[in-house]
Amino acid sequence: MSIVMRILREVHSYSWPIKFLNLLVVAGVAAAAARFVFGLGATTNLNDTYPWGLWISFDVVTSVPLAAGAFTLGAVVHVFHIKKLEPLVRPAILTGFLGYSLVCIGLILDLGQPHHAFNIFLYPNLHSPMFEVALCVMSYTTVALLEFLAPVCEKFGFHVPLRLLRTLELPLIVLGAAIATLHQSTIGTFFLIAVDKLHNLWYNPLLPLQFWTSAVFTGLSIVIVEAILVHRHLKQPDETELLATLTRILPWFLGFYLALKIYALIFLAGRPLFDRPGLTILFFAEIMLGIILPLVLFMTKRSRTDSSIQLKAASLVVFFGLVLNRFNVSMFGMIQENQQIYFPSLLESVVTVGIIAAHILFFALIARYLPIFEHHPEGVDYTIPDRFRKIKKEAVPAQGALGMS
């Protein structure tokens, strides 16, 4: 009883935005339940013309690159050994883990035969991009879970698994990055089959490479957005100085992506290109607002020190460079001329809003209870063995002898 009371009191103490998010998540869960009771046809606006709608376009095709921060930052920090960025890694891994878990949920919701999902293992088809992505998303979610377990073990003092996880840290990061490379690009491969369906502005054989590149810069941008929002709203330290390193890396990827886009458009894409004004506007919105403008912003000196410029540029990358691009490829660009237009149903929208709310909610709650932001290795010694607990460096005499003084 007392535990229930404590939980209730704890929940009662949450701020109103958290409570509001709770409400959205509950609505989303109810809507998802309705989908299983009444079926896809009755609850969504999907039909034979639009077999894929909001759930695939957002919950899968867009959410996967939005969760790319974990693998990109993991590689930057651990592989390229830019150690000072380590405080950013745990929030990124948490975002990645939550993102992928919710992708799995979104995918299950969208399946017509979710109870047969296991058939993926029984009847694998190696020629299917969907098989490749399903396998990669499952294995990556597992890797992200293992990466995320470190703060959990620290919190509860599970020392033996913690030791194992620390040993595995680097191999997991490398494995995760390799797997993520595969499925981030293969989501682009999905649309290679849509020859004569996807509009020439987006259809080209380099689509997988474009998807991977945009996932990388989105991952880094998400880390920037997240760090700044967390600083402003969850009272965490200001990381502008660390983010400056990311703003130096980003222009390379943005520039490479822009070059890829232009090259593909001129040399690889079919013709005609600019026959549909609506699509042309969407395409240029994506390029101008999502790539060129943030590229210019990130090249300015001020973006190294001014967190509001960092936030602005990174949000542009996320919303126009990535989200708009994924919707252009998976939805708008697939609409044929004179075809009826699809709008997600209320229920579809409630589910997707619920998934986004769940992401933010779980992030805030996990950050509240687990050491996500306190991971500053320069101040805290994480080496094992130290009776497997965090010990301040100054407090350890053996370490003091080695000290820099």
Partner 1 sequence: MTEKKDYSNQRTFLIDLTRCTGCRGCQVACKQWNQLEAEKTTFFEGEGYQNPPAMSEHTFTKIKFRDYQRHGYNEFAFYKEMCMHCNDPACASVCPVGAFLKTPEGPVIYKPERCIGCRFCMIACPFGVPKYQWSKTFPFVVKCTGCYSRVKEGLIPACAKACPSAISYGSRSDMIREAKSRLQARPDKYFNRVYGMEEAGGTSVLYLSELPFLELGFRKVTARPLPSYTWAALRLVPAVFLTMGGSLAFISWLTHRKERLRREQEERNVREHGKEGQ
Using CB under 8 A, list all residues that contact partner 1: 36-41, 46-48, 51-52, 75, 78-81, 110-117, 119-120, 122-132, 134, 170, 173-175, 177-179, 181-182, 185-186, 188-190, 192-197, 205, 207-208, 334, 402
Q: Which residues of 310-349 are buried (b: 16+ CB within 10 A; e: fewer)?
A: bbbbbbbbbebbbbbbbbbbbbbbbbeeeeeebebbebbb
In the complex, the smallest distance separating the C-beta of residue 177 from partner 1, rounded to whole angstroms, is 6
For partner 1, the closer CB: 226 or 348 = 348
Task: Compute how many other C-beta atoms are within 10 angstroms of the C-beta atom of residue 298.
Answer: 27
In the complex, the smallest distance separating the C-beta of residue 232 from partner 1, rounded to whole angstroms, is 33
Q: For residue 295, which of 342, 339, 262 has the smallest C-alpha distance?
A: 262
Q: Beta strand 380-381 with 391-392: parallel, antiparallel or unpaired? A: antiparallel
Task: Compute how many other C-beta atoms are within 10 angstroms of the C-beta atom of residue 63.
Answer: 22
For partner 1, the closer CB: 40 or 246 = 40
Distance, CA of 238 to CA of 256 (rounded, Å): 30
For partner 1, the closer CB: 260 or 361 = 260
Residue 290 token pair: 């999502």
For partner 1, the closer CB: 175 or 391 = 175
In the complex, the smallest distance separating the C-beta of residue 127 from partner 1, rounded to whole angstroms, is 5
In the complex, the smallest distance separating the C-beta of residue 236 from partner 1, rounded to whole angstroms, is 28
Q: Which residues of 225-240 are buried (b: 16+ CB within 10 A; e: fewer)?
A: bbbbebbeeeebeebb
In the complex, the smallest distance separating the C-beta of residue 268 from partner 1, rounded to whole angstroms, is 12
For partner 1, the closer CB: 182 or 324 = 182
The C-alpha angle 180, 140, 258, rounded to 5 degrees, equals: 20
For partner 1, the closer CB: 47 or 300 = 47
Task: Compute how many other C-beta atoms are within 10 angstroms of the C-beta atom of residue 369.
Answer: 11
For partner 1, the closer CB: 205 or 237 = 205
In the complex, the smallest distance separating the C-beta of residue 139 from partner 1, rounded to whole angstroms, is 11
Distance, CA of 329 to CA of 207 (rounded, Å): 10
Distance, CA of 146 to CA of 5 (rounded, Å): 32
In the complex, the smallest distance separating the C-beta of residue 28 from partner 1, rounded to whole angstroms, is 20
